[in-house]
Amino acid sequence: MQAGEESRARPFTAPADDRGQAIARVALAAALLGLGLYVLSDFLRALVWAVVLAIALWPLYAKAERRFPPGRHNILWPSLFTAVVALAFLIPVVLLAVEAVHEAHDLLDYAKNAEQFGIPVPAIVERLPFGAQQVTDWWNTNLAHAGWAKEMLGHVNTASNRDLTKTVGANVVHRVVLFGFALLTLFFLFKDGRTVVAQCLTASHRLFGPRGERVARQMVASVHGTVDGLVLVGIGEGILLGIVYWFAGVPHPILFGAMTAVAAMIPFGAPVAFGLAALLLAGNGGVVPAIIVVASGFVVTFVADHFVRPALIGGTTRLPFVWVLLGILGGVETFGLLGLFVGPAVMAALILLWREFTQDAPA
Task: Kindly state whether residues 173 and 281 are assigned to the same domain.
Answer: no
Can you spell out the DSSP letters for 218-281?
HHHHHHHHHIIIIIIHHHHHHHHHHHHHHHHT-SSHHHHHHHHHHHHTSTT-HHHHHHHHHHHH
Residues 215 and 353: beta-carbon distance below 8 Å:
yes
Residue type, 351: I
* Shared-domain flag, residues 94 and 181: yes
* Tally of domains in the chain: 2
Does some domain include residue 32? no
Least confident of 96-105, 143-152, 304-313: 143-152
User: What's the pLDDT score for residue 12?
Assistant: 47
Residues 212 and 316 in one domain: yes
**Cα 331 to Cα 344: distance, rounded to the nearest angstrom:** 8
Whether 24 is covered by a domain: the verdict is: no
Q: How far apart are CA 56 and CA 338, in angstroms?
A: 13
Q: Is residue 254 part of a domain?
A: yes
- Clarify whether residues 243 and 175 are in a common domain: no
Read off the pLDDT of each residue in 148-174 and give the average, rounded to a whole number.
Answer: 61
- Res 75: pLDDT: 87
Identify residue 247 by its one-letter amino acid code.
F
Give the percent of the chain with pLDDT over 90: 12
173 and 216 co-located in one domain: no
Name the residue range of residue 307's domain.
Answer: 207-363
pLDDT given for residue 24 in this prediction: 84
In-domain check, residue 30: no
Q: Is 36 exposed, middle or buried (0-12, 13-18, 19+ CB in 10 A)?
A: exposed
Instruction: Clarify whether residues 180 and 252 are in a common domain.
Output: no
For residue 99, tell me if it sits in a domain: yes
> How do residues 239-275 score in pLDDT, each as one tens digit?
999 999 999 888 878 888 888 988 888 877 889 989 9
31 lies in some domain: no
Distance CA 276, CA 257 (A): 12
pLDDT value at position 363? 44
C-alpha R_g of the chain = 29
Tell me, rounded to whole angstroms, the distance of Cα 24 from its chain centroid: 40
Other Cβ atoms less than 10 A from the Cβ of 135: the count is 16
Residues 309 and 250 in one domain: yes
Q: Is the pLDDT assigned to residue 6 strictly greater than 70?
A: no
**Do 270 and 327 share a structural domain?**
yes
Q: Which of 159, 191, 223 is the last residue of a domain?
A: 191
Number of residues that make up the chain: 363
186 & 212 share domain: no
Verify that 182 and 217 share a domain, yes or no: no
DSSP code of 121?
Answer: P
Which of 281, 237, 280, 278 is CA-nearest to residue 259? 237
Instruction: Specify if 108 maps to a domain.
Output: yes
Q: Assess whether pLDDT exceeds 90 at residue 355.
A: no
Give the integer Cα–Cα distance in Å for 70 and 68: 6
Q: Contacts from 187-190 at CB under 8 Å and sequence distance 24+?
A: 187/78, 187/79, 187/82, 188/78, 189/50, 189/51, 189/54, 190/54, 190/61, 190/77, 190/78, 190/81, 190/82
The CA-atom distances, in angstroms, between 273 and each of 63, 119, 227, 296, 331 are 36, 25, 21, 12, 22
For 80-135, write each residue's pLDDT tens digit: 999 999 998 888 778 777 776 776 666 666 666 666 666 666 666 666 666 667 77
Last residue of a domain, one of 165, 191, 217: 191
Q: Do 282 and 274 form a contact (C-beta atoms < 8 A)?
A: no
User: Of 130, 161, 191, which residue is a domain's last?
Assistant: 191
Q: Do 182 and 296 sit in the same domain of this protein?
A: no
Co-location of 212 and 187 in the same domain: no
* CA separation for the pair 82, 105 (Å, rounded): 36
Contact, 220 vs 251, CB < 8 A? no
Is 198 within the bounds of a domain?
no
- Say what the pLDDT of residue 41 is: 83
Under 8 Å between Cβ of 81 and 53: no
